[in-house]
């Protein structure tokens, strides 16, 4: 593996931090102090990390309901994210949005929303805006395999291609929409990449559990966009480990098999990359231990901040969240 040491460590750190934040949410969720639903991306961290390491601060990011990883990888403030999940006034949406409405304007995170596919045209519009103003930002939008079934997906790709917009579409294919597998939702031979190409959009598919592969494909895509060559479509296969919504495992429900789950667990994006980094001599086990300790402390601080923050006042109920 030929990889720049600094990039390798930042990819690893980014994935590990996302995993540890979400594991903390798992640990604390049963206290019933977080009163909003959470859609965890444990198992899918490589896509957020591999794409976002290529983005600049001024670039824009949009995502959907499963967005903690995207928010953190793009540089969103951890304290404000946890405070938001705890419904506190110090949260990134002032405690009114919860886990599915993450925003950090200072990090270029313009928004995440839970309406499946609803964010795709919003991101496309933002990219249109930056192009009209000649601002030179790239806009990245993450969405799931089910979002690619909604009408706005096609409209957005069509418009982005027509106007050569600086937008990166990233489909995270985890094979399920809640409990429905692809086989009951899409014709067998459907291929989103061919659909994108038929609209004149370049793209690629990759292994979403291999962070280095994601990184390389995203790097190429983002360079293409920065050169003014128009939109790009990326699709990555991956697997969510936990239930669709919530902190538990749900393999007992029968919509997917324990065998499949274990097969994907063996392809843990963090475990596999960690082994590579150790084999290449980029990190050793004591450095990994100390990285984990640093992240643990950061998370504990952020949890205390969130828990000790006040709830929004009732007079705030109808005020504009992002006005100032």
Ligand X SMILES: Cc1ncc(C[n+]2csc(CCOP(=O)(O)OP(=O)(O)O)c2C)c(N)n1
* Residues within the interface to ligand X (CB under 6 A): 65-66, 114-116, 144-147, 174, 176-178, 244
* Shortest separation between residue 175's beta carbon and ligand X, angstroms: 8
What kind and span of H or E run contains 63? strand 60-63
**Whose Cβ is closer to ligand X: residue 137's or residue 177's?**
177
* Shortest separation between residue 146's beta carbon and Mg ion, angstroms: 5
* Shortest separation between residue 255's beta carbon and ligand X, angstroms: 12
Q: In what order do the strands lie in the sheet with 109-112?
A: 109-112, 60-63, 139-144, 167-173, 232-237, 202-207
User: Of these partners, ligand X, Mg ion, none, which one is at the site of residue 98 (CB under 5 to 8 Å by kind)?
Assistant: none
Q: What letters, b where the CB count within 10 A reaches 16 and e where it falls short, cover 134-160?
A: eeebbbbbbbbbbbbbbebbbebbebb
- For 68-220, where are the E strands, in sequence order? 109-112, 139-144, 167-173, 176-177, 180-181, 202-207
**Whose Cβ is closer to ligand X: residue 178's or residue 223's?**
178
User: Of these partners, Mg ion, ligand X, none, which one is at the site of residue 107 (CB under 5 to 8 Å by kind)?
Assistant: none
User: Of these partners, Mg ion, ligand X, none, which one is at the site of residue 65 (CB under 5 to 8 Å by kind)?
Assistant: ligand X
Q: Are strands 167-173 and 180-181 parallel, antiparallel or unpaired?
A: unpaired
* Shortest separation between residue 227's beta carbon and ligand X, angstroms: 30
Please state, in angstroms and rounded to a whole number, the distance separating the CA atoms of residues 242 and 139: 29
Q: Are strands 180-181 and 176-177 parallel, antiparallel or unpaired?
A: antiparallel
Distances (CA, A) of 155 to 120, 124, 316: 9, 10, 37
User: Of these partners, Mg ion, ligand X, none, which one is at the site of residue 66 (CB under 5 to 8 Å by kind)?
Assistant: ligand X
* Shortest separation between residue 39's beta carbon and Mg ion, angstroms: 10
**Whose Cβ is closer to ligand X: residue 166's or residue 269's?**
269
**Whose Cβ is closer to ligand X: residue 105's or residue 178's?**
178
User: Of these partners, Mg ion, ligand X, none, which one is at the site of residue 162 (CB under 5 to 8 Å by kind)?
Assistant: none
**Whose Cβ is closer to Mg ion: residue 3's or residue 182's?**
182
Interface residue list for Mg ion (CB under 5 A): 144-145, 174, 176
Please state, in angstroms and rounded to a whole number, the distance separating the CA atoms of residues 149 and 145: 7
Residue nearest to Mg ion (CB): 144
User: Of these partners, ligand X, Mg ion, none, which one is at the site of residue 223 (CB under 5 to 8 Å by kind)?
Assistant: none
| Residue 130 Ramachandran class (φ > 0 left, ψ -120 to 50 alpha, else beta) | alpha
Please state, in angstroms and rounded to a whole number, the distance separating the CA atoms of residues 130 and 215: 24
**Whose Cβ is closer to Mg ion: residue 145's or residue 210's?**
145
User: Of these partners, ligand X, Mg ion, none, which one is at the site of residue 262 (CB under 5 to 8 Å by kind)?
Assistant: none
SS3 (DSSP) at 117: coil
* Shortest separation between residue 319's beta carbon and ligand X, angstroms: 26
**Whose Cβ is closer to ligand X: residue 115's or residue 280's?**
115
* Shortest separation between residue 222's beta carbon and Mg ion, angstroms: 23
Residue nearest to ligand X (CB): 144
């Amino acid at each position: 593996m030929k990889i720049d040491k600094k990039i390798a460590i930042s990819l690893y750190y980014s994935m590990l931090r996302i995993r540890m934040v979400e594991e903390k949410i798992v640990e604390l969720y049963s206290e019933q102090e977080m009163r909003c639903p959470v859609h965890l991306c444990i198992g899918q961290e490589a896509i957020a990390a591999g794409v976002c390491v290529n983005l600049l601060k001024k670039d824009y990011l949009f995502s959907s309901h499963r967005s903690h990883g995207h928010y953190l990888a793009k540089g969103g403030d951890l304290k404000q994210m946890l405070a938001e999940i705890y419904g506190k006034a110090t949260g990134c949406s002032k405690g009114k949005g919860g886990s599915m409405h993450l925003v950090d304007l200072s990090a270029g995170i313009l928004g995440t929303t839970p309406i499946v596919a609803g964010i795709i045209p919003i991101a496309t519009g933002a990219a249109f805006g930056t192009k009209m103003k000649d601002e030179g930002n790239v806009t990245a939008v993450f969405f799931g395999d089910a979002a690619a079934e909604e009408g706005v997906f096609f409209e957005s790709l069509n418009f982005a291609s027509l106007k050569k917009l600086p937008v990166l579409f990233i489909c995270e294919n985890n094979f399920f929409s809640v409990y429905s597998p692809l086989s009951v939702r899409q014709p067998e031979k459907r291929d989103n990449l061919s659909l994108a190409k038929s609209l004149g959009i370049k793209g690629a598919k990759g292994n979403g559990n291999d962070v280095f592969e994601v990184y390389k494909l995203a790097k190429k895509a983002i360079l293409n966009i920065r050169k003014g060559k128009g939109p790009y479509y990326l699709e990555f296969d991956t697997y969510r480990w936990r239930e669709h919504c919530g902190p538990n495992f749900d393999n007992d429900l029968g919509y997917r098999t324990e065998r499949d789950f274990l097969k994907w667990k063996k392809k843990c994006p963090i475990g596999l990359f960690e082994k590579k980094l150790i084999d290449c001599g980029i990190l050793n086990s004591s450095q990994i231990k100390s990285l984990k300790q640093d992240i643990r402390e950061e998370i504990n601080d952020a949890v205390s901040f969130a828990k000790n923050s006040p709830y929004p006042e009732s007079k705030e109920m109808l005020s504009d969240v992002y006005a100032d």
